Structure 1
Amino acid sequence: MRSPAVYLTLMSGVVLSLPDEAFTQETGTGRMEIVFSDTAFSVSLNLPATEILGPENPSENSAAQTSIAVAISDLSEPLKLFVVADEAGCFTAVANVTLSAVGLGQANDTAQDLSGNQNDFQAEYQVRCQNIQAVETMRFAFFDRFPNVEKLLVDFNRSGHRSSHEVSRTAPDLSL
């Protein structure tokens, strides 16, 4: 029998790793950083696995493993989740999504509870734009796809101007 990590890697190209340190945050909340350059913007996203998958143990069954593969596939399309103006002419240059989970891939079935805060989806995106100045707002369609996430804490850096924002299901638009 294949270990869950091998199954997931074959099924969806997932890279599973152990987190460097536990990342604690409030329930229903993810963290995001957006940094603009002259022709692109990068996004770093960190979300608790339970907010994306629900309380299921990711190694419990094939349905849970399929949920992981679907979530990674959806998270790999940032411009469908974080929508900017069409006039900007943006496209995804890089999208890397991983699930960091303690216990996945272990040979024994006495796996730890994987529903804790130390298990996260992590995504890194590089989005290039033909007209970066047209990126003035971002609509978080992300909340439509992931209903368990209530808000994202967003750190933003554009031309050296840093700010922090809270984007929520009830206020899904961010002025950039």
Structure 2
Amino acid sequence: QQLVDEMITVLAGEAIDYVAADAVEGFNPGHDVCRLLVNAALARLRDQDGRELPNLEFPLEAGALRRETTSRGGIELHLDAGAFDRKLGAIANYPELTEEADRLRAAHGLASLGVERLSPVDYHLDISECSEQPPAYERWGEQRVQSGYYKTVLRFKEHVEPLARQLAP
């Protein structure tokens, strides 16, 4: 709740035209939780002062979101050569993302990094239909527990869904 309150303070105090954040994809629970926090902050901001900021999401794992949104207002940005080079430079200078970036380049090609797609969010805190169930991160977590890398598996029903309920007004 405190983090959501901090987000509201920033959103209310700045000249912001829209908010863009991770899409729920069921691949990384951290990304899905970030989306929940953004959705909760935008809903509370709307309830507190009537400010309705456009809420957009971007896919990280898929070239495009598998689900269709019911509203219009998406944005597709084609990066020019300079912006594309800066993006590749930022990726190269973030060694913690090397494995993830290599995997995405192999799956979608380098050119896929030159387009940013922002889609309107048409769900709130119920993200159970936004990705397969159980989400991919549970299978990955199970493998990591078996290998001894993790001690426990983060689960949608046990960990993420209860957080969504706590964030509800």
Whether these two folds match at TM > 0.5 is no
TM-score (norm 1): 0.29
TM-score (norm 2): 0.29
Higher strand share: 1
Higher helix share: 2
